[in-house]
Every structure is written in C-alpha cells, then in structure tokens.
A and B are shown apart, each in its own frame.
Chain A
C-alpha cells in the first residue's frame, strides 16, 4: 500500500536523532513486547508479512510519532484478534485493569520447552527461501524496469523506485512473496533480484553525485527493458 511507512525520499521529517548509550530495551514493556513477537510469530500464529502489513495500516500520525515497539504492539494485537487467538474485549478489559493498577504484575509461568524452542529459532532462523522449479527470468547485467503498480495491500516495492530502470546486480533465491502471503493468499515464491539504480534515475536533478541505490525486488515487480 502507498502508506506512510513507505518513507524513501520523503522530506521534512527532521534530523536523525542518535541516542547516546542507548539500551537495547528502553523499559520492561519493550522487552516483553519483543518476547511476545518471538512467542506468537515463532509459534506460527501469524506470519512476518502479516506482521509488517499490520504496522503499515496503523493510523499514519500515530505511526510517525509513536515509539518503535508500539508499532509491534499494534500489529500483534490486530493480527491476534483477527486470527481469533485473543478477544478484543478481553484485551481492553485487561488493559483497564493494568491502567488502574500499574504495579500489578503479569501472571508468572515458566515453560522451558517453549523457551528452548524459541532459543533454537533465534539461533537457526526462519528462512523464507523456497525451492521453485522455474528458472530466474532475469540474469546479472539485465536491464529491468520496475512496474508502476500501486497495490492497496502489502508490497515490498517502495514508491521511490516504481517505474524506474535499473540493472540486475545479483540474483538471489526464490522467496515467499509478501504481496500474497500477507493476505492469506499463499506463499507463491518468486526469485528476488538485487537491482542497482543510478541515483539520477531515481531522483533526477535532486540526486547526489556518485550515488547508487540497490533495492531487492521480487520478480513480479520487474519487467524487461
């Protein structure tokens, strides 16, 4: 979707704010939120593409001004409610309880098997690369043009490189296609290409000299030139 998350080339958002000695988690709830992601996505309650799209459909003003892990909370709540894992009324009621009693603690539970499984997941990863029988459509050195498409749903084709010409720099594996996987429409894996764009092609006269941008793009995002 042409959402507020698709930020490449946007002006006016301000200076980069580097926090000195930034902790990994700024408070306990950020850490808990990370744990909730690991446990829920790690147990397959929703997939990474659904997770990302849930963030993309946030209120745009909220997206731009809220803290990072709030984005995670928003999408996890949305996905878990839509999938019927949790009930929205129950979540709202429980939230009110904690608002009234901020010092109240979360119920304690140990699950060494779950913790161990998730540790393995952290160490082993969860690749979305898939074997496909087709050969890649494009090869290194091919000139390609990105399609001028504006899907309302999830895509990983940023707006700033739509309808632009580039050169295939690398051919990667076939990967699960986010555009369908985010909407329960299947994995439909396609080859991914690292495409090199001259900054002038992307930004015209506003381009800095001697700049190149590389963007990783699924095969259906590209046309031959």
Chain B
C-alpha cells in the first residue's frame, strides 16, 4: 500500500456508494481523527493551529490590502509600481506570502470595472485580503460571475455598474492572484493614508463593491 496509487486518478471515477450529506458531527470527528493520527506521527502540532493559523484570524486580512490601496491613492510613484509589479510594491509595506507569490493589480476607472473570481476552486490573494468568505468559494458566485457579472453585482451586491462602463472579469485559473485597485472616492482630498485606508473595503478589492465615501463613515 505504501507509495502505491490504489486508484487511477486519470479515470474520472463514479461516485462511491454512500449517503450525503455527511453530518456535522461526523465531519468534526474526521477532522479530529486526522489531526490525532498526524500528531502521533509528529507531522502536526497544536502550535501550528494556535499560532500559525491564528495569523489568518488577526494579522492577515483586508486591512493589509487597504494599506496598499491607500498608499497607491496617495503616492503616484507607488501606484505606478503597484500596477507594474504588485509584489515589489507590497513588499515595500512588508506584505506578501502564500497564495500571493504572483500578484497582479487591476485598476478600476470611469471606463472599466474589474471583478475577480476563481471558477475552478477558490483562488484568492491571501496576503492582501486574508482568507476568502464562503460566498466567493461556493458554486453560485463562481458559476455566475463569468457569465452575468453586471447582474450579479447589482442583484447580489447592490453594486450598479453603469451601462457605459465595461466589466472585466478575471478568472484566477493559474497561480497569479488578482486584486482590484478601486477608484479613490470624491471628497477625500487631504486625507491621511490611515483615513483613506479606513474607506477601503474587502469587497472593493475583489470587485464586488466600492470603497466607502467620507460621508458613509461619519
């Protein structure tokens, strides 16, 4: 058994014979069982979960992307670098890593609105946005975003993109991770980068929302 492939994964397989859905209790038990076996083999430890995974609950999240966007809005040289070499720009802010080894920023404008999806699975720019929400990973968005983006944005996210604006949908089918540089809202002249960052939402950086306006944050 060891090292041998027991099934030929080349052949598309027929579903095996069991009933679904699997109960929450069974799923939880399977996860604990797997963690237990791997712990006994010295392949995992509690600090991996308590320290490393916890980083995605506290340190790695959309506030990092917001910093990048705020800096791009404030600093034309940084914006230029961000659009040419997103990884280099983000590294200047100490931002980068897993599932963001090759990032590309796409810029919204009066002519184009950008939206990001992964139709095949759930690829998402973790270093700037953290882990994706379920709606991004589930079949509904993944199936519809490439076919009817304008409708999805309006009906599901309340984002009404004018008919005169093109919509560019980016399907993250390879290892490049896209995120959106939204347009800077009106009435934000003179705001500090911290104040600007507070306007930038996770939704605006994946293309299903716009940044908050100064009025909305009062």
Distance in angstroms from A55 CB to nearest chain B CB is 7
Contact check: which of B12, B33, B119, B152 meets A7 at CB < 8 Å?
B119
Whether A18 and B119, one on each chain, are in contact in the complex, defined by CB atoms closer than 8 angstroms, is no
Distance in angstroms from B30 CB to nearest chain A CB is 5
A24 at interface, CB cutoff 8 A: yes
Interface size on A, residues (CB 8 A): 119
Whether B37 and A66, one on each chain, are in contact in the complex, defined by CB atoms closer than 8 angstroms, is no
Within 8 A of A (CB), among B35-62: 35-49, 51-53, 55-57, 60-61
Whether A218 and B174, one on each chain, are in contact in the complex, defined by CB atoms closer than 8 angstroms, is yes
- Known contacts A86-B37, A152-B12, A210-B166; is A31 also within 8 Å of B30 by CB? no
Residues of B within 8 A of A19 (CB): 133-135
B182 at interface, CB cutoff 8 A: no
Whether A8 and B119, one on each chain, are in contact in the complex, defined by CB atoms closer than 8 angstroms, is yes
Residues of B within 8 A of A211 (CB): 149-150, 166-169
Contact check: which of A127, A153, A154, A194 meets B101 at CB < 8 Å?
A127
Whether B166 and A59, one on each chain, are in contact in the complex, defined by CB atoms closer than 8 angstroms, is no
A225 at interface, CB cutoff 8 A: no
Residues of A within 8 A of B45 (CB): 39, 109-111, 114-115
Whether A153 and B169, one on each chain, are in contact in the complex, defined by CB atoms closer than 8 angstroms, is no
B218 at interface, CB cutoff 8 A: no
Residues of A within 8 A of B216 (CB): none
How long is the Cα–Cα vector from A112 to B51 in the complex, in angstroms?
A: 10
Whether A17 and B138, one on each chain, are in contact in the complex, defined by CB atoms closer than 8 angstroms, is yes
Distance in angstroms from A57 CB to nearest chain B CB is 6
Report the nearest B residue to A210, measured CB to CB.
B166
Report the nearest A residue to B49, measured CB to CB.
A35
Residues of A within 8 A of B151 (CB): 208
Residues of A within 8 A of B16 (CB): 59
Residues of B within 8 A of A23 (CB): 57
How long is the Cα–Cα vector from A52 to B175 in the complex, in angstroms?
A: 13
* Chain B proximity mask over A57-72: 1 for CB below 8 Å, otherwise 0: 1011110111110100
Distance in angstroms from B44 CB to nearest chain A CB is 4
Whether A175 and B134, one on each chain, are in contact in the complex, defined by CB atoms closer than 8 angstroms, is no
Whether B176 and A152, one on each chain, are in contact in the complex, defined by CB atoms closer than 8 angstroms, is no
Whether B47 and A110, one on each chain, are in contact in the complex, defined by CB atoms closer than 8 angstroms, is yes
Distance in angstroms from A137 CB to nearest chain B CB is 16
How long is the Cα–Cα vector from A109 to B49 in the complex, in angstroms?
A: 11
How long is the Cα–Cα vector from A182 to B121 in the complex, in angstroms?
A: 15
How long is the Cα–Cα vector from A213 to B207 in the complex, in angstroms?
A: 14
Whether B27 and A73, one on each chain, are in contact in the complex, defined by CB atoms closer than 8 angstroms, is yes
Report the nearest B residue to A3, measured CB to CB.
B12
The stretch that binds A, out of B73-81, B91-99, B191-199, is B91-99
Most buried by B among A6, A10, A52, A153: A10
Within 8 A of B (CB), among A100-131: 102, 104, 106-112, 114-115, 118-119, 121-129
Whether B143 and A209, one on each chain, are in contact in the complex, defined by CB atoms closer than 8 angstroms, is no
* 27 pairs, CB–CB < 8 Å, chain A vs chain B: A8-B146, A13-B139, A24-B56, A24-B57, A29-B28, A31-B49, A31-B53, A31-B57, A32-B31, A33-B31, A35-B52, A45-B43, A60-B15, A65-B20, A66-B20, A66-B21, A84-B4, A95-B29, A98-B28, A98-B30, A98-B32, A102-B29, A115-B47, A160-B146, A182-B9, A209-B163, A217-B174
Which B positions have Cβ atoms within 8 angstroms of A?
Answer: 1-7, 9-13, 15-16, 18, 20-22, 25-49, 51-53, 55-57, 60-61, 96-102, 104, 119-122, 127, 130-131, 133-135, 137-144, 146-152, 155-157, 163-176
| Closest CB pairs A-B (n = 10) | A84-B2, A111-B45, A216-B174, A8-B119, A94-B33, A98-B29, A35-B49, A125-B101, A59-B15, A29-B31
Given A29-B32, A122-B97, output 7 extra A-B contacts at Cβ < 8 Å.
A73-B27, A80-B34, A84-B2, A94-B37, A211-B149, A212-B168, A216-B171
